[in-house]
Every structure is written in C-alpha cells, then in structure tokens.
Amino acid sequence: MAWLVVRLAISVSLLYAASAVFEDQVGKFDWRQQFIGKVRFALFDTHSQASKKLLVATDKNVFASLNSRTGDLFWRHVDKTGPEGHIDALLMYGQDAVVVVGNGRLLRSWETTVGGLKWETVLDTGSFQAAALVGVQDLVKYVAVLKKSAISLHDLSSGSQIWGENLPDSDSVQYQTIYSGENGLVFVLGIVPNSHIVIVEYKIEDGEIMNKKSVEAAWMSSLESSCAVVSSGILLCVDQITQSLYTLPLQSAEQTEMRQIHLQMLDLEVASGFRPVLTSTQPNPAQPPLSEFFLQLSPDHHILLQFKDGLIALLRDFSPSYLAAFATSGERTVAAVMSPKNDTACSINLFSADTGRKHLDTTIIYHMDPNGGKPNRLYVHAFLKKDDSVGYRVMVQTEDLTLTFLQQPGRVVWMREEALADVVTMEMVDLPFTGTQAELEGEFGKKAAIQDGLLPMVLKRLSSQFILLQAWLAHLWKLFYDARKPRSSVKHEVTIDILSRDEFNLQKMMLMVTASGKLFGIDSKSGTILWKQYLENIQPNSVFKLIVQRTTAHFPHPPQCTLLIKNKDTGLGSLYVFNPIFGKKSQISVPTLPRPVLQTLLLPVIDQDYAKVLLLIDDQYKVTAFPSTKNVLQQLQDTASSIFFYLVDSSQGKLSGFRLRKDLSTELIWEVVIPTEVQKIVAVKGKRANEHVHSQGRVMGDRSVLYKYLNPNLLAVITESTDTHQERSFVGIFLIDGVTGRIVHEAVQRKARGPVHFVHSENWVVYVYWNSKFRRNEFSVLELFEGAELYNSTVFSSLDRPHAPQVLQQSYIFPAPINTLEATLTEKGITSRHLLVGLPSGNILSLPKMFLDPRRPELVSEQSREENLIPYAPEMPIREEWFINYNQTVSRVRGIYTAPSGLESTCLVVAYGLDIYQTRVFPSKQFDVLKDDYDYILISSVLFGLFFATMISKRLAEVKLLNRAWR
C-alpha cells in the first residue's frame, strides 16, 4: 500500500508540474532564429538556371544550404565544435558537394537538394593542405586530397580511394597546392621556402609519378599566398620585393627557370607594405583555368590581366576598387568589381572577363550601413537572361558578419546577421512608455509642478487627459480599419517608433552583445532587429560586460547601458555608453581606463539623473566611479564604509575582500587562499541583483517554519582538483560571504570532475558535475537554512550573523549531459522556481526545483506528505513535456537568459548558442491569466441571461403581487 501511495504521490506531483505547449500555441509566444556563422566558403548552384541554392560552409563548422531568394535555410548540418569539425574545403560539382572535415580527417559528399549524406570516407592521418576536383576528358570524376606527406584520389560517386601515394621528400618540402588541367595529370606543388619549388606530376589512372622537377625560387616563402595557376597550366607568382610576376609552365621540360616579368613594364606598382594577391578562375575543373586573372596591388586597387603567349596584357585597371570576383554562367565568365561611389555607398559593376569591357546597365548600388562594417567578401551569382545577356546577383559579407544579397539596381533581397551566431552576453530592458503614458508620468514626475500653482496644474491635467482621449480614439480607429482588411494583408511590422511597453510588460528589448563586437537591439516579441551597432577595433579575444545603469523607469531621462570591453590579454578596458532602446551612443563623457580593470561593481547608489553608479577597480585597487559627478562622489564618501567588494585571482587561488575608503582608495580586509597545487578555482557566482524572494521560510509538516538563510552577499565558489585521476579527482564547493570572507560552507564532491555548471539563487545552489567513477552526470543541490528562528528578521547584515546556517544537501543522477543551466526568475518571486537545463540535443528542459530539494525524504511520512515533498529517487526524470522548445531545438546552446515580466506567473526566457530562441515559461501555470480558450461568450451570455431572467422574474413577481392584491 505504501508503494502505491509513493507512486500516487509521484504521479500527482508530476501532474502538477507538467506543462506543455498545445499545438495551436506553437509560435505564439516564441520564436527561433537559426544562424550559420562567418562564411568561409560560399558556392552558388549554377547547375540549373532555376536553382535557388547557395551552399555555405562557415567558421562555426556549419555546412548549410540557403535559399538565395529569401535567405532562409534549406538545410543545415552542424558539425562538432573545434578543430574536429572544422571544414577545410568545400567543392561542388553538379548536385554534389564535397567537403573535407577535421583537418583532413573525413571526406564527405552531400546531396545538395535535400542535404543528405551520399558517402563518407575516413582519410589517412596527416594535416590537410589542399583539395581539388579532377576531371578526365571534360568529365569530373575524382577528387584529389593533398595531405602534408601524401596524396590520394577518390572517386566522386562512391568515395572509394582510387590510389594514394606518399609524396617524395615530404620532410623537407612543404606541399601546398594541387592542380589538375585537362591532360590526365595531377600536379602537386611544393616549396622549400626561400630556395626552390617542387612540381610532381601524377598520372590520374594509377598515381604513377610521371615527372618530378624542382625550380629555383629563392624569393618565395609560400606558394599558397603568392601563386595561382592560369591558362593551360601556367604557374603564376607575384613577389612584392622585386615588384614582378613570375611565370612557369608546369608541364614543359625545357624551361627550368621562372620567367620574370617586371610590373614596371605594365606601369604598375605594388603599394608598400601590401602583399599582392592573385585571383584566377577555373570554371570547369575538367578544363584549364582561364587566362585572365585579377591582381590586387593595394587594398583598393585591382587589375584585370591576361596571360597570352607568354606575355601579360593589361585588360582593365580598377582604381579604386574594394573587391573583385569572377563568376561563370554557361560558357561566359564575368568579373564583378566593387568600387566606392561616395561615403555611404558602393557600386558593383560587371565586366566581361575576356575583354575587360563593361557590361551596360549592370550597376548594383550597395548602401553601406553607417552602423556596420566595411565589406570584405564578394560572392557573385551570374546567370544568363532570356536575351542571352548576363545577369547577376551578389552576396556581400562585411566585417561585422552581415550577409547582404543584392540584385539590380541595388535592391536588398535579404540580409542575415551572422554575428548573432556568437552571442556573448545579453540583457533585457523594459520598453519605454508611449508618448501619452510618458506625458502623464511627466505631469506628476516633475518637481517644478509644485511651483506651478493650481490653475496651470488643472490645465495640464486637462491637456494630458485630452491627449489620452485622442490616442484612444486613434487606437479604436486603427482597430476598425484593420478589421475591415483581410487578415493576411495586415502586416505587423515592428518599428522602433511604435514600440512601447505593453500592459503586462511582456515585450522587452533584448540587448545582445556578439563576439565580433556588434551590438543588437531585438524586439523580444517578434525577434525583429530594431537597431544594430558595430563597434570597430574590437580585439577578437575581448571580454564583454553589459551593465544597465538606468532603466526606462526614469522618464524623461533616457535609459542608459554601459558596455565594458576588456582585452583578455592586457586587461585594458574601455567603456561604451549607449541608449538601449534606440542604440544611439550616449554623449556622456566616459572615464578613460589607463590601467587593467579587475572588477566592476554596480551600486544601488544613484546620481541626480537616476543612473546607478558603476565602480571600476583597477589592478592597483584604485576605484573609478562612473558617473563621477560631485553628487555621486559625496554619496560615495558617505556610504564608503559599507561598500565592500571581492576580487578573485584564480591563478593564485586567492579570494580577497576590500572595503572602500572615503578617498576612493581601498583597503584589504580579508583573504582566503585555496592552494593551487590541490585545486583551482573555476567559477565564482553571486546572486542576481534583481532577484526577489517572496517567502522567508518554508512551512514544515508540523506547521513550524524553517527559515531560509538569505544572504545577498553569498558567493558560490567552485573548484576542480588538479589531480584528474578518476578515483582522486574532486569538485569543491565553497560558500563564502563576500563581505566578511567567512567560509559559510565547504564541501567536496569526491570522484567528480568538471565541467561544472551551477546556479546560485535564493538560499540554494544547484550544480552539475561528471561522476568519473560511474561515468554519469549528477545534480547536487545545497540548501541553507537559518533554522526555526531568525537571528534578525528585519534586516540582513553579513557583519552580524554569528550563527552558521544549517546546510542540507542531496544528489541525483541526471541521465543526460548538460550544456548550460539557469533558473527562472519572476517579478516578485512568488511563483515556484524551475531550472532551465540546456541539453546538447538543443532541447531546453524546464525542471521543477521541487525535484531538487534536499529535504526529499527517504521514507514517506505523514509530515513529508503534508509538505508536498516528493519521496527521494536517485534518478532525475526527463519528461518530454518539459522541453519548453518542443521541436525548436537550439543548436549548441551556450547560455540561457531569464528575465521577469510584469506578470508574476510569467518568466521570459532567451536561449542562445548558434541559434536564438525566445519564449515564455509559466513555472506555476498561468494562475494570473485567463486561458487562451477561455469562453467569453458563454460566460457573458450566461451573465446576460441571468440578468434578464432576474429582470423578467421580478416583473412577473410584481404583476403577480399586484394581481393578488386585487383579489
């Protein structure tokens, strides 16, 4: 019977916690955007005229097919992160795309229409150098892969290896490129830097070495960057020091030296300090490359040249020109060149490759985004029009990873913001009030109102009421107008001007900071990008910290956000202050930070303009305040003795606490040193500042209260052992008071290993680790309680809490690996908490905190049932209804951000990784909202019915009474 009770209790509790999306709710509160990352290879499918495919391979190890008409994804394959999934080369022939993955580990062929894998071959070990398609008699049949010391030829239709040969003298010669023309030979080109180049000829059929020769080239250090093959097997190289081109026929036996052609003879000169670049094109791998090629002499100077009969002729000089690219459609090859038009726009023109003549009416105007970066890659899709002229579309990639697809005469067909594939940090900011709401706020907000007197106040009130009435009428009119139109034609276009806070504050502004240094302001309801700002000169290894200094609550002061950009190597930082709603840079003067910043601290102290004060601590423990007005400095002096902060030096295992002095210097007040020989600090987390805890304690089964230990200054420090042996490794958990440095609790999880993910909130810490003995992921929860009595119930002070809290802990098995962990957050903290677990599968699991409760009893008792405690079970369930993103998986989820909304039941969730997913969760169901399918008509008709029934029966009763009186 007890077992039945246990099962019943579990099922009842599950029923209570279960929540899932109904089919008709899909996409109602949530959206997902999928990204690919920075494009490294892009190929248009020129197989057929009607094809819309654009194949891309990116630095995020993503191989995808885009619809070139809309920019949407046809399909996407996300490979492993890191070098294991790195895409080395992308080749395309017909319907097949051949990809080399993982530094030459795998060779794969994909069917491009549906994205199915046709075959996969594991290649021999060796670092990848080059890959090329090899054709025999106008038909491409093979793919050749060049490794550091070997070359192999594979069949294009099955992937089977035709032959593989070791390269001669591979320990001294660096083989770098591969070339195959029409004559049944594969050329492998290698170099001994600053000495000579080596050319080895292989026979396609059996891999027999037909010829091997070496040619003097003392000036050359790299083949790949300075050479190209043009015409029928002519190796062309450029050298910036001698300012000349060198040519060498690959196959000829008689010429044993490279022929030098001075650039001067063509009246050309390489810009000093610029490494010239040669670009050739080989439209069909079974045929030799064209004899025309581009030579780039400076960042904005390209030249189209032609190699003919051993001579080089200048076809056209493009100066200035940013980018140039070849494209082929059918038999015709064209060159597209991007030149600056004015400060904000570039023009792209088409030229025929063989003559250099400009095609008429082919200009595309590309407007550069003033908040974006410069264009750095140009991909051209050429096609034949009905009248046999060449038409084209271009895709431009900019420094800030925007992909823009343009067609004539400059219409932007689509745009993708690939910087969003690498979101580093984000915040959510409330939207401002509408003008009318703000008007009302302003009326009561201004201090001057008191001096205005009675009459102006009345007038002001009347005018604002009138404005409200006007706005309401306009709203009604709009509703009426929209209702008349068919539903499909009503476009819900979101612009920054109409954005305003909704009734329940469910729509917010998402601020996203990306690794490339581009900031985005995104509407949380629709996912529309409202503003973007590219910060130039951001080092690739920068660390960002986004701080909301002033929210939208302080009208008429605009909201203010500060981004601290810190160079990881030097530690030097800079501040970027902006308005989060419009994305405009603020005019406020920003303190310069000459010394590395160690720590930032957002104080609850506000200046006269309602901006919270940000303290920046440098490596000499000096404090810079921002803003640093007189008012702020005065406030800081007054409160200095109660401002504490901590620093963590994980290299020395040192945690230290400081107190602010009146002169903005600091003093060391505590120090904890965890020896680095045994364990190293991997993470330190405090609690979120905007977190509210509604109940101070938990009511126990016997009606007594167990008070929570709610220390806002508590830090959770996680360490990992340096010894990684599976029996001796451990994970350490330290709970340290950030003000006094007191170690509140110290625990060691034996036989455990990282990566550790953890959440620190209210009075609990939940962490996930890898159990190295049982090889499984485990959850552990720590809860802190003061006991049955509160020490000081009015206020919490770290300086006055002499008794150590009671610590309860319990662990569970979690049957899945974990990418990230976060807890839900609501306005007042009444709603029960859930943990949001990002799984590698891309699902986000909403796990009730109820399951992670160290008070879950071994044996069910009357009291535990009274308390609604679930009996302890060592394994944590994963139920598919708990996936908040149903089938909208988030690839490589890296972080989850939660924000409260105006509704207590609702928490806004954004999961980001390669994709971005936004939704709302209701941990305790929507207790404060009527259901979607609430039957208003039934309720109102019943109400009206009852009302009329009462009226009628009243009337009837009156008549009856009257009749009786007459009787």
Partner 1 sequence: MIVNDFVCQSGDAVDTDFSGFSVPLEHSFEVDDVPRFRLRGALQLRGGRENSVYLSQNQLSEKDRSTLKDVAAVDGLYRIRVPRVSLQVDRQTERQSEGYLTTFVRACSLVESHLSDVITLHTDVSGYIIGISIVTIPGSCRGIEVEDEVDLEVFNSTISVVAPVTAPAPETAPYIERMEQEMEKKGKNPQEQKSFFAKYWMYIVPLVLFLMMSGAQDQSGGGAGGGAANGGGR
Q: Which residues bind partner 1 (CB under 8 A)?
A: 1-3, 15, 18, 641, 667-675, 678-679, 730, 732-733, 736, 740-743, 745-751, 771, 778, 780, 782, 792, 799-802, 809-813, 858-859, 872-875, 925
Find the shortest distance in angstroms from Cβ 10 to partner 1.
13
Question: To which H or E segment does residue 547 belong?
Answer: strand 542-550
On whether the CB atoms of residues 514 and 520 are closer than 8 A, the answer is yes
Find the shortest distance in angstroms from Cβ 13 to partner 1.
13
Find the shortest distance in angstroms from Cβ 701 to partner 1.
20
On whether the CB atoms of residues 187 and 250 are closer than 8 A, the answer is yes
In the three-class reduction of DSSP (H, G, I as helix; E, B as strand; rest coil), residue 895 is classed as strand
CA 833 to chain centre: 26
Nearer to partner 1, 111 or 875 (CB): 875
Find the shortest distance in angstroms from Cβ 188 to partner 1.
57
CA distances from 99 to 159, 497, 539, 905 (A): 11, 46, 30, 48
The CA radius of gyration of the chain, in Å to the nearest whole number, is 35
In the three-class reduction of DSSP (H, G, I as helix; E, B as strand; rest coil), residue 634 is classed as helix
Question: To which H or E segment does residue 598 belong?
Answer: strand 597-606
Nearer to partner 1, 358 or 855 (CB): 855
On whether the CB atoms of residues 352 and 359 are closer than 8 A, the answer is yes
d(CA 250, CA 219): 19
Find the shortest distance in angstroms from Cβ 925 to partner 1.
6
Nearer to partner 1, 486 or 802 (CB): 802
Nearer to partner 1, 507 or 924 (CB): 924
Nearer to partner 1, 15 or 479 (CB): 15
Find the shortest distance in angstroms from Cβ 723 to partner 1.
10
d(CA 523, CA 521): 7
Find the shortest distance in angstroms from Cβ 16 to partner 1.
9
Nearer to partner 1, 149 or 831 (CB): 831
Find the shortest distance in angstroms from Cβ 679 to partner 1.
7
Find the shortest distance in angstroms from Cβ 708 to partner 1.
19
Nearer to partner 1, 668 or 946 (CB): 668
Q: Which residue has the tokens 């005018």?
A: 463
Nearer to partner 1, 142 or 644 (CB): 644
For helices 435-445 and 454-484, the axis angle rounded to 10 degrees is: 170
Give the count of alpha carbons within 13 A of 888, CB side only. Answer: 19
Structure tokens at 631: 């008012």
- Listing DSSP states for 733-750 in one string gives EEEEETTT--EEEEEEEE
Nearer to partner 1, 423 or 744 (CB): 744
Nearer to partner 1, 573 or 653 (CB): 653
CA distances from 179 to 184, 192, 230, 633, 812 (A): 11, 18, 10, 69, 58
Nearer to partner 1, 619 or 667 (CB): 667
Nearer to partner 1, 6 or 590 (CB): 6
- The type of residue at 260 is Q
Find the shortest distance in angstroms from Cβ 815 to partner 1.
11
Residues 6+ apart with CB under 8 A from 53: 44, 45, 65, 66, 67, 68, 74, 112, 113
d(CA 717, CA 736): 7
Nearer to partner 1, 105 or 745 (CB): 745
Find the shortest distance in angstroms from Cβ 851 to partner 1.
13
Find the shortest distance in angstroms from Cβ 503 to partner 1.
23
Give the count of alpha carbons within 13 A of 618, CB side only. Answer: 17
Residues 6+ apart with CB under 8 A from 144: 131, 132, 133, 134, 151, 152, 153, 154, 178, 180, 186
Find the shortest distance in angstroms from Cβ 741 to partner 1.
5
Question: To which H or E segment does residue 724 belong?
Answer: none
d(CA 296, CA 338): 13
Alpha helix stretches (DSSP H) within 410-527: 435-445, 449-452, 454-484
Nearest Cα to Cα of residue 555 among 444, 660, 451: 444
**Cross-strand pairs, 864:** none
Local structure of residue 896 (DSSP, 8 states) = E
Nearest Cα to Cα of residue 113 among 59, 48, 41: 48
Strand 185-192, strand 196-203: pairing: antiparallel
Residue 422 has phi, psi (to 5 degrees) of -135, 65
Find the shortest distance in angstroms from Cβ 831 to partner 1.
15
Nearer to partner 1, 572 or 747 (CB): 747
Find the shortest distance in angstroms from Cβ 669 to partner 1.
5
d(CA 543, CA 597): 11
Residue 925 exposed, middle or buried by CB count within 10 Å (0-12, 13-18, 19+) = middle
Find the shortest distance in angstroms from Cβ 596 to partner 1.
22
Residue 719 exposed, middle or buried by CB count within 10 Å (0-12, 13-18, 19+) = buried
In the three-class reduction of DSSP (H, G, I as helix; E, B as strand; rest coil), residue 353 is classed as coil
Nearer to partner 1, 208 or 875 (CB): 875
Find the shortest distance in angstroms from Cβ 522 to partner 1.
33
d(CA 322, CA 302): 8
Strand 277-280, strand 259-262: pairing: unpaired
Find the shortest distance in angstroms from Cβ 750 to partner 1.
6
Nearer to partner 1, 35 or 812 (CB): 812
Nearer to partner 1, 345 or 799 (CB): 799
In the three-class reduction of DSSP (H, G, I as helix; E, B as strand; rest coil), residue 918 is classed as strand
Question: To which H or E segment does residue 206 belong?
Answer: none
Nearer to partner 1, 692 or 750 (CB): 750
